[in-house]
Amino acid sequence: MLLHIPNILGRGQLRQLRDALDAADWTDGRETVGAQGAQVKRNRQLPDASPLRRQLGETVLAALARNPLYHAATLPLRTLPPRFNRYEGGGEYGMHVDGSVMTLPNGEQLRSDISCTVFLSAPEDYDGGELIVSDTYGEHEVKLPAGDAIIYPSSSLHRVQPVTRGARVAAFFWVQSLVRDDSRRRLLYELDVAIQSLSASGAEAGTVLSLTGIYHNLLRQWAES
């Protein structure tokens, strides 16, 4: 499921993050990928061991925890702490697929079900930098307002177009969902949205309760720990 989630971060949070990132020391982004990824990746990242990465990542995760749309769409079980990247001067990331298993700071393993990018630069501040996600329906071009997020299956082939003016700054991370299968997550998300819409419209309480029961019974059947 490819889904745009607006307003993850407010203006004050964006200003705080951008001020800190504009003054940060960056490293070659190829340090965090394997041999294949290094051949097509040209960007900069905050070092993984950077205290600033941890501090700003906590800000992003706290904002996500308050967003019901994000929770409904991802059903997160484990989340890799956000990383931060910067593309400028022709920087790009060629077509690739994300690694399937990653290591959390506590040593536990995370299966990457969902990839997420939170845009931190306004689209008018840079040229290029579109995230291109390829799936069975073709290629989807994503360039969102600052503070908005895009989620998509980590199994998708994707790339970042060259940035030819300005700088594209973003947070990115991966989620292991309670529900491994993307089609099942989509069904649960659509059911959740329908329940919320019915409830807000004043639909008969028994109908809403019945659908809520179906949602939770499906989640109970499909959830993994």
Q: Are residues 154 and 195 in the same domain?
A: no
Residue type, 196: Q
Report the predicted TM-score, pTM, of the whole model to 2 decimal places. Answer: 0.95
> Domain with 186 in it: what CATH number?
4.10.860.20
Domain that holds residue 206: 182-222
What is the per-residue pLDDT across 157-167, written as a single tens digit (0 to 9) for each?
Answer: 999 999 999 99
Q: How far apart are CA 136 and CA 117, in angstroms?
A: 21
> Domain with 93 in it: what CATH number?
2.60.120.620
Number of CB atoms found within 10 A of residue 117's CB:
22
Average pLDDT, integer, range 166-182: 98
What is the per-residue pLDDT across 127-146, written as a single tens digit (0 to 9) for each?
Answer: 999 999 999 889 999 999 99
How many structural domains compose the chain? 2
Q: Are residues 173 and 206 in the same domain?
A: no
Nearest residue to 127 (alpha-carbon basis) of 80, 166, 84, 179: 166
Q: Which CA distances in Å does 167 have to 85, 107, 170, 179, 182?
A: 10, 33, 10, 35, 32
Q: Are residues 95 and 196 in the same domain?
A: no
Q: Are residues 171 and 118 in the same domain?
A: yes
Q: Are residues 197 and 124 in the same domain?
A: no
